[in-house]
Structure 1
């Protein structure tokens, strides 16, 4: 019988990218879960590997969302402060 191990994505690339460019705390959690996937696959824990993969993907997604929201809020804040400064009449 030819039994091959199922392919479970570890999402490590997304975890690293969201850690670097979006939200550090959530990205680190994503990296931890992504690092668990290959070890669980090697141990034969397919369900555990899939669960870690899903959690890594979820945390990477939340990290990206937090990063985008933070950037948008920063841009809005800068624009409001710029308009407030221009409206003060001290130019």
Structure 2
């Protein structure tokens, strides 16, 4: 069974790698899930690939949220010293 008739599933690998500069722990989880997308597609498991892609997006969102929380706090600490 080939997945040629199914829509393409984005793996978000580039964004996951760039997210390392935002928040490393959540970016690592995003990278792991983006790698799972391609592996699941090779196994012809479309539903699991979509699930891994959604999990990757979730970890990317958390990277962004935590970065916006962390950066102001860090800058306040560094500017007060």
TM-score, length basis structure 1: 0.77
Tell me the CA shift for residue 62 of structure 1: 0.4
Q: Which residue does the alignment assign to 1:53?
A: 53
**Residues of 2 paired with 1:32 and 1:78: CA distance?**
33
2:11 is aligned with 1:10: yes
Match of 2:41 in 1: 41
Q: Report how far residue 59 of structure 1 moved.
A: 0.3
RMSD: 1.4
Q: Distance in 1 between matches of 2:38 and 2:10?
A: 9
Deviations 1:37-89 (A, max 9, x none): 0111111111000000000111011012111211111123344x26xxxxxxx
Structure 2 spans left out of the alignment, 5+ residues:
none
Quote the Cα distance in structure 1 between the aligned partners of 2:19 and 2:68: 11
> Which protein, 1 or 2, shows the higher relative CO under an 8 Å CA cutoff with sep ≥ 6?
2
Q: Which runs of 5+ in 1 are unaligned?
A: 83-91
Aligned length: 78
For the pair shown, the structure with the greater C-alpha radius of gyration is: 1
